[in-house]
Amino acid sequence: MRKTLISMAVAATTALAGCSLIPTYERPAAPVEAAYPQGDAYPAANGAGQVPPAAELGWRDYFADPRLQRLIEVALQNNRNLRVAALNMEAYRAQYRIQRADLFPQVGVAAEGTRQRVPAGLSSTGQRVISSSYGVSLGTTVWEIDLFGRLRSLSQAALEQYFASDEARRSTHIALVASVANAYLTLRADEAQLKLTRETLATYERTYNLTRRSYEEGISSRLDLRQSQTQVENARASLARYTRLVAQDTNALTLLLGASLPADLPEGLPLDGKLVADVPAGLPSDLLQNRPDILAAEHRLLSANADIGAARAAFFPSISLTASAGTASRQLSGLFDAGSGTWLFSPQINLPIFTAGSLSASLDYARIQKDINVATYEQTVQSAFREVADGLAARGTYTEQLEAQVRLVEASRDYFQLAEGRYRTGVDNYLTLLDAQRQLFAQQQVLIDSRLNQLTSEVNLYKALGGGWNEVTAQAADNAGAAGTRPSGS
């Protein structure tokens, strides 16, 4: 009889396993153009030589600064946000395993024993009775046979949520790499501003001391002295400001690292060096495969689509099965004697007739959630397109801006040297020298800010294209692996 029950359960499961009410999924059309914008602000489309796409380019190959590489390595090991994202992924995987377990019967062994005394007044024989019963059984309790795919739909929805959490972890990883790079570059730029301010303050103080001696000798006016002092105090205020910013930048970088700055940091490349590699933009359609936030949004859409299948299946009958087989006896010693076998087979069917509209409302809710996820997916695609387009616009304009700013700094420096010489020889007044000093300092500051903006825009473009997940370029890793397997004589 036990084999008969098992055979009936297996046959029923096999016969009813093919039904699913999940709607056929079609990926929404990407609400963006087939190509990135063109115009004066955008660079001409050209190949990137041997540089692979951003999504395949490892961050060690993209960032050339060895100090930045070390900082990213530390952050990936210690950052708490990344650790939370990884734990969230594990939690969603556990939830999927819990949901998937409902598809299978939960088989357990139950043992029970009862000994009861019935007083004479309640006994049918008029005598007190002491009765005993013992039993052991193996079976399943309230196993729902997934006739219309409700449980499979819920399991599929949980699986897609797990996939979405995995993509969210990748997105957090990529964002962390970009955040560390931007924080490091900001720190380097503010350190450069601090160094420039110190040098400028020293120049202003020399000029102020000369002007003060000239004033004491009656050569310069009190107005010249106060104007020179104004320059010195402005520079001191800037010095305090950049000292504070450097300290705050260090604190922000430490927070991203999740640990103190390593003591063995290598020397970094100069801020005006080649700190990042150029990567091709590709096509907007590439974003659908490379951006983890887009992939996560699509998995959440697939989960909502599966929820519709579960809501549809709730309208149909559900079948539950309770079955067990074992042995029972009045005496514990006779529990496994011949003839003590027992079995139970109790199927139950539940057909919803009147639910006060709750099932219809549940289906409407599932459909609305899918529509919300469709809109979220489309918005995510549009945001990704915008981020890449902004990065390309920055790439197409910052090079010319920096070249012009360098020339402007050189011209301002020459202007300052000429004005200083003419003032010392008495040809020009102090106002000309004052203007030259201010202009040189301001343009040097703008040059550093422009270089920082260019570098951060390149980092953000790398992130927008899906770069930052791999540590080393996939092709380079494959080549290294192949080289490692070659015979020593090759």
Q: How far apart are CA 151 and CA 159, in angstroms?
A: 12
Domain membership flag for residue 173: yes
**What integer pLDDT is reported at residue 120 of this predicted model?**
79
Q: How far apart are CA 423 and CA 53, in angstroms?
A: 56
Domains of the chain: total: 1
The residues with which 133 forms a beta bridge, in sequence order, are 114
Q: How far apart are CA 413 and CA 440, in angstroms?
A: 6
Q: How far apart are CA 173 and CA 76, in angstroms?
A: 7
Which residue matches tokens 């009862």?
114
pTM of the model: 0.85
- The 3 state secondary structure assigned to 222-248 is HHHHHHHHHHHHHHHHHHHHHHHHHHH
**What integer pLDDT is reported at residue 479 of this predicted model?**
54
Q: How far apart are CA 224 and CA 209, in angstroms?
A: 12
**What integer pLDDT is reported at residue 1 of this predicted model?**
42
Domain membership flag for residue 401: yes
Order across the sheet with 129-145: list the strands: 107-118, 129-145, 318-329, 341-350
Domain membership flag for residue 232: yes
Domain membership flag for residue 246: yes
Domain membership flag for residue 159: yes
Which domain CATH number covers 92?
1.20.1600.10
- Tell me the two tokens of residue 80: 């708490």
Domain membership flag for residue 112: no
C-alpha distance from residue 57 to each of 25, 293, 335, 390, 481 (Å): 32, 18, 70, 20, 17
Q: What residues contact 308, with CB distance under 8 A and at least 6 apart?
A: 21, 22, 23, 153, 363, 366, 367, 370
Domain membership flag for residue 62: yes
Q: How far apart are CA 145 and CA 150, in angstroms?
A: 10
CB burial of 430-462 (b: ≥16 within 10 Å; e: otherwise) equals bebbbebbbbbbebbbebbebbbbbbbbbbbbb
Domain membership flag for residue 326: no
CB of 75 closer than 8 Å to CB of 305? no
**What integer pLDDT is reported at residue 45 of this predicted model?**
65
Identify residue 43 by its one-letter amino acid code: P
Q: How far apart are CA 347 and CA 142, in angstroms?
A: 9
CB of 60 closer than 8 Å to CB of 476? no
- Cα angle for residues 289, 294, 298 (degrees, 5° grid): 95
Q: How far apart are CA 160 and CA 173, in angstroms?
A: 20
Segments forming the whole domain that contains residue 417? 19-103+147-316+372-474
Instruction: Kindly give the parts of the chain with pLDDT less than 70.
Output: 1-18, 45-50, 475-490
